[in-house]
Amino acid sequence: MKNELVIVLDFGGQYNQLVARRVRECNVYCEIYSYKTDIEKIKAMNPKGIILTGGPNSCYEAGAPTYTKELFELGIPVLGLCYGAQLMMFVLGGEVKSAPVREYGKTEVLIDKAESKLFAGVPASTICWMSHFDYISRIAPGFEISAHTKDCPVATAENEEKALYAIQFHPEVLHTQDGTKIINNFVKTVCGCTGDWKMDAFVEETIQAIREKVGDGKVLCALSGGVDSSVAAVLIAKAIGSQLTCVFVDHGLLRKDEGDEVEAVFGANGSYNLNFIRVNAQERFYAKLAGVEEPEAKRKIIGEEFIRVFEEEAKKIGAVDFLVQGTIYPDVVESGLGGESAVIKSHHNVGGLPDYVNFKEIIEPLRDLFKDEVRKAGLELGIPEHLVFRQPFPGPGLGIRIVGEVTAEKVRMIQDADAIYREEIATAGLDKEINQYFAALTNMRSVGVMGDERTYDYAVVLRGVNTIDFMTAEAAQIPYEVLGKVMSRIINEVKGVNRVFYDLTSKPPGTIEFE
C-alpha cells in the first residue's frame, strides 16, 4: 500500500538510493526526485515527509543546487542530510562556511538534546559517518543545536515546532551505528507514518493493477531467467495467465549452460505454465558487437537488438499490446530517470531504446522495488528459493564482463572461467556468504610460460563483493586457498588465459560490475 509517501530530493548525493532504501526498511514507501522538481508537484504528491540528500557542492556558491524557502513552509517535516542540512540552514538564514577541519569517516557524535524526537533510543554518544568539507557555522533563527562532534559544532540542528531537522552526518549508511533508528524516528515519530507498506500488499495490488491495465490485451514478456525478469514473469502470469507470452532471447552472452537451464525451468516441461519461446540469436548479437569496445555502446547495441528481436517475435505471435520488462528501482535511478545524480549506466530495459518501439506500452511491474524487495516479492509469489536467490546478472550479460570487443571465443573463455569460479565458491561453502561473485575477462594480454612454451594470453579478473543493498559494496575476503585453487583450475582448463587477478575495489569508487 502506498497511502503514505516520503520523498527524497536528490542534490547529487552518492547515497540517494540508500536513503530511500532505509526509509523502506521502516515499511514506509519512498521515491527519489530531482531537486529541480517543481514545488507544485511536491504539493500534489502530498508526502508525509521530505528528505534532502547530500551532494558534492557548496550551497553558498553561485549556481549550486538549491530550493526555494517555500519548501520549508509547507507544514511537511523536512530532514536535511549533509549538503541538505547545510542548504536548509543557508536558505533559512543561517551561515555555512568552508570547514577549518574536514571530517571524513567514522566520527563520535555527542547528543546535546536527549529529548529530541530524532534521537529517541539513541545513546548520548554514538558513531556516525561524516563526509563534508563545509560546516554550519551559524544555525538559522528558530533552530537549536541538538548534537555536535569534536570538530563540528553543529552535527544536528532542529526546529521541533516546524518539524525541520538538519543532520551533518549520513544516517543512511551502515557505518552510522544508530542510523536506521534515527531515520525510523523521523518517518514514524516526526512524520507520523504508520508503516503499512508490506510486500504481500504490494503483490496483491500489483496483480490487480496489471489486470485492470491489460484488460483483454496480449502481453509479451522479456524473460532472461534472472531474478528480476523471472519475478516479473510470474507476477504477470498470476495476473493474466494465457494472455502472456514469454520470449527468452539467448544472445550468446549468458553464463555457461544457462540457456538450457532457463528453458528447463520455464519451458514446456517447467512448472509455471507459461507460453515460452526461446530465440537462439547468438550469432546475430556477436555480429552487431563486432569491433565495439566502449561499454556504454555495447549496452545500447544489446538493448536495441533485444527490442528488434521482440518486435520480430511479436509479429509472429500476432497483435501484442504490451511489453513487460524486469526494470527495478536502481535501474531507474542510475539511468537518470529518478533523481539528480550522474547517469552511471544505461540498461536495455530503461535506457538506449529507439523511439520507434512497436508496442502500445511497456509494463514494468518491479520498477518501484530494490533488489532485496524483488526477492521478497518472489518468495511471496511462491517462486522456489534457489531461483529467487540466484546470483545477480546484468541484462547485457557477459557483453559487459568482457572488456573490449566481444567475440565468440572470448565468451567461451569467460563462460568457462566463471563456471570454475562459481563451482569452487560453492564447494568451499561460500556461495551463501558472498553476495555477488563472477569472473570477467580483461582486454590485457601478457606473456606467460606453460610447460616448455611461452604464451601470450588474456588475464581473467575475479570479482566478489559483500553488500546489503547493492548501493555500496566491499570486496569479499575470500580465503587465499580458494582463490589459489580457482586460479590453478582456470589457467589449466581455460584455453587462452594465463593470468588471474582478484579485484579488491569497493563501491564506491568502483561499480560492482567489471566493465
Please answer whether residues 147 and 110 qualify as being in contact, where contact means their C-beta atoms are separated by less than 8 angstroms. Answer: yes
Please answer whether residues 244 and 275 qualify as being in contact, where contact means their C-beta atoms are separated by less than 8 angstroms. Answer: yes
Q: CA-CA-CA-CA torsion for 295, 296, 301, 307, nearest 10 degrees?
A: 130
Let me know the angle formed at the C-alpha of 43 by 212 and 365, rounded to the nearest 5 degrees: 30
Best CA proximity match to 87, nearest among 40, 53, 112: 53
Best CA proximity match to 366, nearest among 334, 394, 395, 325: 325
- The 10 Å CB-count burial string (b at 16+, else e) for 87-125 is bbbbbbebebeebeeebeeebebebebeebbbbeebeee
Q: How many other CB atoms sit within 10 Å of the CB of residue 284?
A: 16
Work out whether strand 164-167 and strand 156-159 pair parallel, antiparallel, or are unpaired. antiparallel
Report the interhelical angle of 199-214 vs 227-240 (nearest 10°): 60
Write phi, then psi, for 370 (nearest 5 degrees). Answer: -80, 165
Query: Which of the residues 132, 170, 251, 347 is marked catalytic?
Result: 170
Please answer whether residues 141 and 135 qualify as being in contact, where contact means their C-beta atoms are separated by less than 8 angstroms. Answer: no
Q: Rounded to a whole number, what is the distance in angstroms from the first to the last CA of the chain?
A: 38
Query: Which of the residues 172, 258, 305, 513 is marked catalytic?
Result: 172
Query: Which of the residues 26, 82, 128, 193 is marked catalytic?
Result: 82
Reported as type and span, the H/E element at residue 51 is strand 49-52
C-alpha span between 508 and 83 (Å, rounded): 19
Task: Retrieve residue 422's grid coordinates.
Answer: 562459481
Write phi, then psi, for 440 (nearest 5 degrees). Answer: -130, 155
Q: Answer yes or no: 386 catalytic.
A: no
Q: What share of the chain is helix, strand, coil (3-state, %, to 5)?
A: 35, 25, 40
Task: Retrieve residue 184's grid coordinates.
Answer: 525510523
In total, the chain counts a number of residues equal to 515
Residues with a catalytic annotation lie at 82, 170, 172
